[in-house]
Amino acid sequence: MAGHSKWAQIKRTKAVVDAKRGAAFTRLGREITVAARGGPDPTGNFQLRTAISKAKAAGVPAANIERAIAKGSGAGAGANQLEEIRYEGYAPGGVAVLVEALTDNRNRTAAELRLAFSKNGGNLGESGCVGYLFEHRSEVILEAIDHPISEDALLESLMELEADGYEMFDDGAVVHGPFTALESLQEGLRQRGWPVQQWGHHWHPLTNVDIADSDTAAQCMRLLEALEGLDDVRSVSCNLGD
């Protein structure tokens, strides 16, 4: 699958409903807290609006969202302790991995990531070691509600918007655009009547690494799952192919 691993697509197109739901809620709450530093009103704070959208899609209770907003906007303690940090490394088979984290303790997060990499056959690398293999882009997910999405009609709309690609799937589509175009892209699609469900920034691999050996591929998957399960981890991206 061009530009995406199977693992990444599955993670992106379904809500967080597994046994680690509580940890997912914590991570999404941290995103809201950081975004709320720019103001508690989502109407005038697109980053906050985006974080709230992700939280609602994952089923985070309204009370949790309100507490996270209050914490980030100054009504709670610890709002400024969270840092956004990007880590880079390699999974088995030379697969490149980018990890975005929100943490209040750099040493703890780095130690947890290093352990996850080493236990699963990977290596935590230096900053910049794999970043050049990815492009940070906007992504808007459309999900069909009453009827299937028409690819021809979508193409016609995209010609009028700052989009540079799309992918169709069974129940909708994913529209891609430049990093800076996220707000205008999702709003433009919404204004044209498209069923916008989620939006955000994602790291897209410029090339994929295909692994023929099933054991190595399985080890890669275990590493990705281990990283995703860490409390401080916000997102995990890789260039694992089919």
Q: Is there a domain that residue 51 lies in?
A: yes
Structure token digits, residue 60: 């985070």
Q: With bands split at pLDDT 50, 70 and 90, how would you rate the model's confidence at 20?
A: low
Q: Which pLDDT belongs to residue 3?
A: 42
- pLDDT per residue as tens digits for the range 162-220: 899 999 988 899 999 999 999 999 999 999 999 998 899 999 999 999 999 999 999 99
Q: Is there a domain that residue 136 lies in?
A: no
Please tell me the least confidently modeled range out of 34-38, 44-48, 105-109, 146-150: 146-150
Q: Which pLDDT belongs to residue 50?
A: 92
Q: Which pLDDT belongs to residue 13?
A: 41
Q: Which pLDDT belongs to residue 73?
A: 85
Q: Which pLDDT belongs to residue 4?
A: 47
Measure the CA–CA gap between 206 and 89, rounded to whole angstroms.
16
Q: Which pLDDT belongs to residue 10?
A: 47
Q: Taking all residues of the chain, what is their mean pLDDT, rounded to a whole number? A: 87
CATH number for 39: 1.10.10.200
The set of residues, in sequence order, having a beta carbon less than 8 Å from that of 106 and lying 6+ positions away, is 83, 85
Domain count within the chain: 1
Q: Which pLDDT belongs to residue 149?
A: 92
* pLDDT mean over 231-238: 92
Q: Is there a domain that residue 63 lies in?
A: yes
pTM of the model: 0.78
Q: Is there a domain that residue 144 lies in?
A: no
Q: Which pLDDT belongs to residue 171?
A: 86
* Residue 74: domain span: 6-81
- pLDDT per residue as tens digits for the range 127-171: 999 999 999 999 999 998 878 899 999 999 999 998 999 999 888
- pLDDT per residue as tens digits for the range 56-91: 988 899 999 999 999 888 755 555 688 899 999 999
Q: Is there a domain that residue 56 lies in?
A: yes
Q: Is there a domain that residue 44 lies in?
A: yes
Higher pLDDT, 238 or 76: 238
Structure token digits, residue 165: 């690609």
Q: Is the pLDDT of residue 15 over 90?
A: no
Q: Is the pLDDT of residue 226 over 90?
A: yes
Q: Is there a domain that residue 158 lies in?
A: no
Measure the CA–CA gap between 41 and 47, rounded to whole angstroms.
11
Q: Is there a domain that residue 189 lies in?
A: no
Q: Which pLDDT belongs to residue 79?
A: 54
